[in-house]
Amino acid sequence: MKETKKPSAPATSLFSKDNYTWMIAGIILVAIGIILMAGGKSDDPNVFKENEVYSVRRITIAPILILLGLGVEVYAIFKKPKNS
């Protein structure tokens, strides 16, 4: 018995170019936040530099950027593509 294949609908992409642009922007924000949070290592293990570890950049700005980047990622995933 010969099997026949049914014609299928053309494959469409789940995301549009605009979605991918937003995703890249979110990834960049998260990466910048991680880079800003990095560091703080002391040359001497017996010395604790409180102003480097607990700086505003590391405990405020970097986490805000990471959370903004994750928010942009969620927006990029749920954004509906424009009808062409």
Question: Tens digit of pLDDT for each residue in 5-63?
Answer: 777 767 777 888 999 999 999 999 999 999 999 977 778 888 888 888 888 999 999 99
- Residue-range domain boundaries for the chain: 17-39+48-78
Q: How many CB atoms lie within 10 A of CB 52?
A: 13
Give the predicted TM-score (pTM) of the model. 0.77
Band of residue 83 on the pLDDT scale cut at 50, 70, 90: low
pLDDT, residue 49, reads 81
Q: Residue 50 is encoded by which pair of tokens?
A: 């409180």
Given a contact cutoff of 8 angstroms between Cβ atoms, the answer to whether 16 and 80 are in contact is no
